[in-house]
Structure 1
Amino acid sequence: MLKVLIVDDEKIVRLGMKMMLNWEEHGFQLLSGADNGLTALHMVDETQPDIIVTDLIMPGMGGVELIAKLKERQYAGKIVVLSNYGDYERVREAMKLGAADYLLKMTLNPDELLGLLNKLAEQLTADKQQKEQDVQNNALLKESNALRKNLFLKDLLEHGADFFHAAGKRAELHGIAIGAQHGFILYVVVRGYEQALSSGKIKDKQLLSFSIKNMLGELLGYGSAAEIVELSPRDYAVILFAESYMDGGMRQLSGRISDTLRMYLNLQISVAISEPFCGLEQLKPCFEACQAAVRLDFYLGSSANVHVLEAEFRNDRFLNGKSGASAEIQSLLDLGQFEEAVKRVERTVKLAEEDRCDPAILLQFGEWVIDSWMELAVSMSAGEEHFELSASERYRKVLRTAETCGQFRDSLIGMIKEIGAMALSSRRGGYRQEIQTVVAYMKKRLDKKITLAMIAAEVSMNESYLCRLFKSETGESIVNYLNDLRLDKAREMLKNRDCLVKEAALAVGIEDPYYFNRMFKKRYGVNPTDFKNRFS
């Protein structure tokens, strides 16, 4: 409902207009009137009317002066002037100042008044829609400009100034006055991003990115000589054009960034600090040095603040020993000595950790280990369809997403133990009939209690003789074989994201969850919950 204020020093005029319409019935709220411009100004502040109908000649402050004052205050409503015959000059002046229309007092009637009010209501609606559209357009333009600026800076960091024609002029067009200024780069990386997104305080990607940039802006101080570049939702570059920071100031700032994002967003942050740069041409090499330096937190852990001059990876000892280690591991695999091969892998990873070998080189070794285990497992599976080399890519992906050496080591050892267990499981078969009957009996009753006496009765054998025969045929005891069958089935069930660990344990006849966890980790090198998460 639009609010209407009538301003006239003659009370009879105000009452007459009040009685002329059923205001609320037509969608208008008539406010108590004002008898001059000064009173009207106070009422405008208090009631914010949408339409003002004002006389031109009044004591204290007339209509023309009132309109001028309203214009100074950027009044957004509509103004109508009431005039008498002979007020032509004043009406013209009022219209110049912004009055929307005028009414003649002597000939005013309800239809004319209502028609004008409805026309003004339509104009106000159109003005409001246009204003909202302008706000939206301005916001879109601002966002578009910000995106273009971010893309320019991102390309500048990743590809260098030579990537652009007249990079300096393009920087100026984006309001980036780099020129020959000195400065630094802070490379900010969110560690454990997916986990932070799923279990952190903010679970929306865009909102989290906005919050990170907003906090970086607060820490830097808006209006400071700095640019925040979103490289991806998980990593950002802060370009500081401030020679005054120098090394100590940059370290303090990087520490505040880590502490603030951890405190308010529960994020683990690593920050790399560049050497000073001078001009656009030095941005790319400085940024590349930061990218290399931040990889050091693979060994230091999250929330590491590293200066590029301190980021040293020592690869010589690892590279010199890798070929010998690989040959030894392959030989152990060929001989079927899986446990010794696993231990040799563990020692090789430990050497990389001690020397802080480049994580990319360690990843290459890990991928070779996975492929070697997989090839052996496939050859042992005698072509069974459920065991394919394509699973190798899933294991590789797990290694690539490891953010610390500890995660890498645990994942690699866990996976090769899992592959080995699957290979041994797939090799079973071709046993004599009695043993095949025993295996089939156990598989059929995995969810129930099974005793040695029950198994012996199934094949009509003496328990001691059955145990010797089973060990001779399979190389394993009946108890170990049965446990492996239970765990293999549970492992397959846990690949279903809807299956709970407790449900899988009960489905294979293990009621004690702690016992199930210990058995599962011993066989596959990873606890059932972590195994399940790999497939989720």
Structure 2
Amino acid sequence: MHSVLIIEDEILARIGLHQLINWEKHEFSLLPDAADGEAALDLIRRHRPDILLLDLNIPKIDGLQILRHLKEEGMGCKVIVISCNEEFDMVKEAMKLGAYDYLRKLNLSSDELLGILKKCRQELRAGSDRDEKLSSFAFHEIRYDEIMNPNGKDLFLNVGTYRTAMCILPPAGETAKKWSEEHSAYTAAEVSKKWFGERSVEYMQVIRGPQICCFLFERRFSGAFFLQLHQELTNRLHGSVYFGIHETVMGNADAVNRAIILAEQVSVIRYYDVAQTVHYFPEKIALREHSPRGTQQMLAGLRESVETFSGKDSGDMIRQILSAIRTDPYTHINVLRRIFMDMLGIYSMTAQKLNGTIEEVRVRDDNCHYQKLMMMNSLNLIERWFLEFQDIFYSRFFVAYKCSRSDLLKSIFSYIDRHLTTQVHLSEAAGEIGVSNAYLSTVFKKEMGVNFIEYVNQKKVDLAKQMLDEGKLVYEVSDVLGFENCTYFSKVFKKYEGISPDGYKRKE
């Protein structure tokens, strides 16, 4: 049977597709439906369906984005687009991205659907036959934990004595591309398998989690062989692929295990973002078990700059710490992780002093910061993440920091928060606080870098975005926030966001 995934947000349309044909009779198995793009990617990741029935206009991640994911990952499933008549331009773009065919959603017949499904099945079977021919050479697969298990599979069955161990690490990726990251190792394995098959190269693939591909060969290869494979993988995975290679005669399981460990040292090389990507490891890398010189002084400088909310100075200290790590290779990754935990701890303690926590800071919609740093596999990514984190941190706690240093500012912000849904005037705020208009205006501009009304309007716009995200209409938001009319509200909103409230709502 060939598996089929229906990706459609309208429940009646999903029910109609279920009932349109007898799926089991025609040897198709339906996976659980996906009502939005995020659920679709999760199901694709877990089940690897043969065929997708894809509605282009779905929430969260649209159909075109899903097609781009499939293309980037080299997924071999057939995608049948479900289209309305007015979506012709989107359908054309979908076909460019590799969609197999499309169905008109209105008046779809069972014969039309079944005809396209059978064509897909025929081509999938033809492709499977080609893959079997390619893999007719000796190809074996084993889990890493079976290498040292005496009751496990025989590593040397039909293969011979191994002489080369190779570890492939796909490009380091961001969490925003989690689906791509988790499957890039599998993609690397599939691309390699086809490449080896075309050259009749026998190998053993060792399964080592979702991020690492290991291969064992019974002979050694020239440098050109690995460079050609490296180029093929780089083209397919769109980033820097790293190879770790260890060459020796592996006469038993212990020797195989040691060879794989040596080849996997390429993870240290990638962590340091070294430009050279193909590495031979005759022995273990000598890893330093202590922090780079001057780390404690730099951490003290970072603490001082964070506690005084000096963004430029703290940014410079982050760059200095990462620069010191790069110029003193190779330190054990666990030592480096402790340094990054200490850096994050400085922000955490500062937030606590302001009666907050760093979990209030969301970087790319994620607030699991300690776990994030532990999982990052590139110093470049870590540096960029820290700089992004600190900008959001300062934005989140800036008002609390200013209030902690000035009772006057604390009173001003309290007044603004209490009157944010009315028309806020500087003169009324000054009168309630007990200072002159000029004094309040001068102090506010000096401390905040913007004038009083600009700050109030930005706060109103931020609250307006939350309300629009919750589904409120533009005129409702305008009324709640105390604007004179919708026209003035739209003018203020566009000044700060570069888009009208209606445009922002449509974008969401």
The TM-score bracket by the shorter chain reads: 0.5 to 0.7
**2:319–2:383 contact (8 Å) kept in structure 1:** yes
Of 229, 247, 251 in structure 2, the residue corresponding to residue 275 of structure 1 is 247
Q: Which has the larger radius of gyration?
A: 1
Gap runs ≥5 in structure 1: 1-134, 143-147, 516-536
Paired residues in the alignment total 339
Q: Does 1:370 align with 2:347?
A: no
Query: Retained in 2: the 8 A contact 1:318–1:357?
Result: no
State the AA in 1 paired with 2:246.
Answer: S
Distance 1:290 1:366 in 2: 26
Asked whether 1:408 is paired with 2:382, we answer yes
Task: Name the counterpart of 1:291.
Answer: 264
Deviation at 1:411, TM superposition (A): 0.8
Match for residue 219 of structure 1 among 195, 216, 238: 195
Q: For 1:497-512, list aligned pairs within 5 A.
A: 509=493, 511=495
Aligned mates of 1:512, 1:279 — CA distance in 2: 68
Distance 1:340 1:310 in 2: 41
Correspondent of 1:188 among 145, 148, 168: 168
Matched, 1:262 2:208: no
Aligned to 1:352: 325
Give the counterpart of 2:219 among 213, 236, 242: 242
Q: Secondary structure at the match of 1:256?
A: helix
Q: Distance between the aligned counterparts of 2:318 and 2:439, measured in 1?
A: 39
Q: Does the 8 Å CA contact 1:215/1:261 hold for their aligned counterparts?
A: yes
The CA distance in 2 between the partners of 1:493 and 1:270, in whole Å, is: 43
Kindly provide the CA deviation profile for residues 369-426 of structure 1, in whole angstroms up to 9, marking residues without a partner as x: 1012111211222x6898599x997122332343432221111122234334433333
Matches of 1:209 and 1:436, distance apart in 2: 55
Residues 446 and 265 from structure 1, CA distance in 2 versus in 1: closer, same or farther, beyond 3 angstroms?
Answer: farther
**Which one-letter code corresponds to 2:141 in the other structure?**
N
Match of residue 465, structure 1, among 439, 448, 461: 439
Report the aligned-residue RMSD.
Answer: 5.1
Q: Measure how far apart 1:190 and its partner are.
A: 1.8
1:440 corresponds in structure 2 to: 415
**Does residue 456 in structure 1 map to residue 440 in structure 2?**
no
Which amino acid counterpart does residue 234 of structure 1 have in structure 2? Q
Q: Is the 8 A contact 1:447 1:507 kept in 2?
A: no
Q: String of CA shifts for 1:212-246, please: whole Å, max 9, x gaps.
A: 43432232237533112332343211101104x2x
Q: Is contact 2:348-2:357 (8 Å) kept? A: no
Q: Is the 8 A contact 2:315 2:387 kept in 1?
A: yes
TM-score by length of 1: 0.50
Q: 1:393 to 1:230 in 2, by over 3 A?
A: same
Q: CA 1:480 to 1:271, structure 2 compared with 1: closer, same or farther past 3 Å?
A: farther
- Answering whether residue 314 of structure 2 is matched by residue 323 of structure 1, we say no
More helix by share: 1
Structure 2's unaligned 5+ residue stretches are 1-124, 133-138, 472-476, 478-488, 500-508
Q: Is the 8 Å Cα contact of residues 168 and 214 (structure 2) preserved in structure 1?
A: yes
- 1:253 equivalenced with 2:230 (yes/no): no
Distance 1:385 1:294 in 2: 29
CA distance in 1, matches of 2:359, 2:172: 32
Give the 5 Å matches for 1:487-526: 490=462, 509=493, 511=495
CA contact under 8 A between 1:367 and 1:396: conserved in structure 2? Answer: yes
* Cα distance in 2 for residues equivalent to 1:232 and 1:361: 23
Match in the other structure for 1:23: none
User: Post-superposition shift, 1:354?
Assistant: 2.2
1:361 aligns with 2:335: yes
Matches of 1:216 and 1:405, distance apart in 2: 27
Instruction: Give the superposition deviation at 1:366.
Output: 1.2
- Aligned counterpart, 1:164: 150
Q: Which string of whole-angstrom CA distances, capped at 9 and with x for unpartnered residues, describes residues 76-95 of structure 1?
A: xxxxxxxxxxxxxxxxxxxx
Shift of 1:296: 0.9
Distance change (3 Å), C-alpha of 1:433 and 1:189: closer
Rounded Cα–Cα distance in structure 2 between residues aligned with 1:434 and 1:194: 39
Query: 1:221 is matched by which residue type in structure 2?
Result: G
SS in 2 for 1:407: helix
Q: Per-residue CA shift, 1:478-530, capped at 9, x if unaligned?
A: 53895499379849969x9999xxx9x98984636589xxxxxxxxxxxxxxx
User: Taking structure 2 as the reference length, what is the TM-score of the superposition?
Assistant: 0.52
1:422 to 374, 396, 402: 396
1:455/1:188 Cα in 2 relative to 1: closer, same or farther (>3 Å)? Answer: same
Letter in 2 for 1:231: R
Pairing 1:150–2:156 present: no
Q: Is the 8 A contact 1:446 1:486 kept in 2?
A: no
Shift of 1:438: 6.5
Give the percent of matched residue pairs that are identical in Structure 1 and Structure 2.
Answer: 8
Report the Cα distance in structure 2 between the residues aligned to 1:265 and 1:409, rounded to whole angstroms. 23
- CA distance 1:361–1:482, change in 2 (3 Å): farther
